[in-house]
Amino acid sequence: MTLRIYAIAYMIFLYAPVLLLPVFAFNDSPVIAFPLKGFTWGWFNDLAGIGALHDAVKNSLWIACMSAIIATGLGICAARAATRFEFPAKRGIMGLIMIPLVLPEIIVAVSLLVVLVQILNLPLSNWTIIAAHVLICMPFSIAILNGAFSNLDNSLEEAALDLGESRFAAFRLVTLPLVMPGIISSLLISFTISLDEFIIAFFLSGSEPTMPVYIWGLLRFPQRLPAVMALGTILVILSIVLLVIAEYFRRRGLKRAGLKDTGGFL
């Protein structure tokens, strides 16, 4: 009983602020406070007229797509190496790759800023953000793909080699289709993480801010807060949809492998 009360209280504490976003997004008042004045779609209509926001959204989508593709590509290589081959210091190397999971993002952001600007003398741009987002997305990608490759029957690829296919062709024609649900799940999770990430983008963005950085700038103007709530509502819905799709493909991969689901994103 105590554990149930704790779980309910925890869920309320965690999700109650998020549930307030759509409440105030549809509130017919520029003041974020109770009591509510009425229902309106006006704040969502205002989003269509903010040109700078559109540029920030396009910027974030480009960064998120590139980060997801690169992180998943590297994750495929790392997960395959970790599950298929033995090499010196394997555990240590994989542990180092997974370190961004536990490092505070502010530490990662400041360290990358010093390395890129002070040591490498590189200008801040979208590519610096992409490189940083790949760094933080790779551990998630590897964690997902490790499961996909671990559940794979290696004899299927070996059979393709015995039939005369090259190692790359066997990997492309046999292995990739079998782990495709995990790849899609990795792409969606990495995309979501990159799209929502703020701290690293704040430190490493150049003249073109990402959407979270632009939203932070809007918070300085009280009259823009309802529009921020409307945009936040859209982002929450988009994130939930992407996570549901990722979970669907994760479970589909487990089902195809004939394994029991022991828990996932949802």
- Give the number of other CB atoms < 10 A from CB of residue 248: 15
Mean pLDDT across the stretch 192-202? 88
Kindly tell me if the per-residue pLDDT of 166 is higher than 60: yes
Asked if 86 and 202 sit in the same domain, the reply is: yes
Residue 70, pLDDT score: 95
Q: Note whether residue 29 is domain-resident.
A: yes
Angle at 19 between CA 18 and CA 23, to 5 degrees: 120
Which domain CATH number covers 101?
1.10.3720.10
Asked if 15 and 73 sit in the same domain, the reply is: no
- Structural domain boundaries enclosing 10: 1-44
Q: Note whether residue 252 is domain-resident.
A: yes
Asked if 12 and 110 sit in the same domain, the reply is: no
Asked if 124 and 253 sit in the same domain, the reply is: yes
Asked if 73 and 37 sit in the same domain, the reply is: no
Asked if 145 and 116 sit in the same domain, the reply is: yes
Structural domains counted in the chain: 2
Q: Note whether residue 49 is domain-resident.
A: no
Q: Give, in order, the Cα–Cα distances in Å from 257 to each of 147, 159, 180, 253.
A: 11, 18, 12, 6
Asked if 32 and 133 sit in the same domain, the reply is: no
DSSP per residue, 216-234: HHHTT-GGGHHHHHHHHHH
pTM, two decimals, is: 0.78
Name the band, by pLDDT with cuts 50, 70 and 90, for residue 256: low
Q: Note whether residue 226 is domain-resident.
A: yes
Asked if 98 and 69 sit in the same domain, the reply is: yes
DSSP per residue, 67-84: HHHHHHHHHHHHHHHHHH
